[in-house]
Amino acid sequence: MLTDSLIKLFKRDLNALKREVESYEKESNLWLLHKDVKNSAGNLCLHLVGNLKTFIGASLGNTGYVRHRDLEFSLKDVPRSELLEQVDETIIIVEETLKTLTEADLQKEFVRRASEDKMTTEYFLIHLTMHLSYHLGQINYHRRLLE
């Protein structure tokens, strides 16, 4: 089933996110900006976990998570250990939630914003994997640029 593949992809890339965060030689570099790079790696990490905890955890898994999206980009100097804990929590939430989804659930309409075109839950979950991958690449580039 598609959810098995999605679990593998999310876990692969969330574990890669952990490795990227761990790979910064100087923890303070997680929060640096560089010329035209508008988001730090730390803020992108917060954004990714907030995004997945919202759309997979709260929307599909009824976890009760409440997103504060503005803080994902305004918080600074969150300790590396806390970022890593949040990624670990996200891995658990994603896996536990996706395991519960049926084929019928994947074909249900998913409404993120009323102004958007209609989409299925399956489509939106694929979108979320691509969103994770996109920002993971930005974090990798950020780290290599600074170090």
7: confidence class by pLDDT, cuts 50, 70, 90: very high
With contact defined as beta carbons under 8 Å apart, do 47 and 67 qualify?
no
Distance CA 142, CA 145 (A): 5
Among candidate residues 118, 142, 134, the one with its CA nearest the CA of residue 48: 134
pLDDT in tens, 31-53: 999 888 889 999 999 999 999 99
Grouping H, G, I as helix, E, B as strand and the rest as coil, residue 119 is strand
Q: What is the pLDDT of residue 147?
A: 87
Residue with tokens 């503005």: 70
Q: What is the pLDDT of residue 114?
A: 73
- The per-residue pLDDT of the chain, averaged, comes to 96
pTM of the full predicted structure? 0.95
Domain extent listing, the chain: 2-146
pLDDT in tens, 114-137: 777 889 999 999 999 999 999 999
Distance CA 90, CA 56 (A): 9
> Mean pLDDT, to the nearest integer, of 87-92?
98
Question: Length of the chain in residues, anyone?
Answer: 147
State in words which class domain 2-146 has. Answer: mainly alpha
The residues that bridge with 109 in the sheet, in sequence order, are 120
pLDDT in tens, 50-70: 999 999 999 999 999 999 999
CA distances from residue 128 to 56, 138, 145, 146 in whole angstroms, order as listed: 9, 15, 26, 27
Percent of the chain at pLDDT > 70 equals 100
